[in-house]
Structure formats: structure tokens, C-alpha cells
Amino acid sequence: MNTPSITNLLAPSLTPMVSFDPNNVEHRNAFRKFLASGKQDKSLRFLLEDGFRSVPELMVHRMAVAGMKALDTLLTLETVERAPVTARPERPAFAAV
């Protein structure tokens, strides 16, 4: 009979649970790993918060919101950095000869 050791059984409970933060690089890397493999990172355990059915659903939602905020910021910066378009300056009239 193959019985897992107590260390293997308790290993997931030894990893602290944290709230998923899309601004945290480690959390984003865990999200990338999940997208690539379909498996959650074993070094990070995320809390399932109210309103979500699963941790992956929460992660996708938070990443989408963060992406939209980043896009809004980028678009705002683009409009601020661009100089306003003004009318073309008039050319001086040439004297008729």
C-alpha cells in the first residue's frame, strides 16, 4: 500500500494564502503558468474571494481589469503628449512683379 507522507499531505497548507494582485510580478508569472499549463503555481496559493467560482476565474477577472486600466492610462498619456493640431500658418504673399 502506497501512503503519502505527512509532509506531502501538509505541504499545500504550509504555503500562505494571498490575495491575487495583478500588479505583483510573481502573481502575473503564476497566471502565465496557469495559462500555459492549466495548473496553478505550487509556490503561491490564492484566496478565493466572494463573487468568484474559482481562483482562475478571479485571476482572469483581475488581469482584465488591470489591463483595461493600463490601456486607459496609455491612451490618456498619448493624448496629453501629442501637441494639439493647429491651423497651418499662413504663408506670406509674394509680391507681383
* Domain contains 1: no
pTM: 0.64
* Domain contains 66: yes
* Domain contains 5: no
Instruction: Look at residue 92 and tell me whether its pLDDT is greater than 90.
Output: no
Phi, psi of 29 (to 5 degrees): -65, -40
Reading the block at residue 36, the C-alpha cell is: 500555459
Q: Residue 66 sits in which domain range?
A: 10-78
At residue 66, the pLDDT reads 93
- Identify the band that residue 40 occupies on the pLDDT scale cut at 50, 70 and 90: confident
- Identify the band that residue 43 occupies on the pLDDT scale cut at 50, 70 and 90: confident
Domain count, the chain: 1
Residue 97 CB: number of other CB atoms within 10 A? 3
* Domain contains 85: no
At residue 88, the pLDDT reads 55
* Domain contains 83: no
* Domain contains 37: yes
Burial 40-64 (b: 16+ CB within 10 A, else e): bbeebbbeeeeebeebbebbeebbe
Phi, psi of 79 (to 5 degrees): -70, -30
At residue 24, the pLDDT reads 95
Reading the block at residue 71, the C-alpha cell is: 490601456
* Domain contains 2: no
* Domain contains 84: no
Three-class DSSP labels, 33-61: HHHHHCCCCCCCEECCCCCCCCHHHHHHH
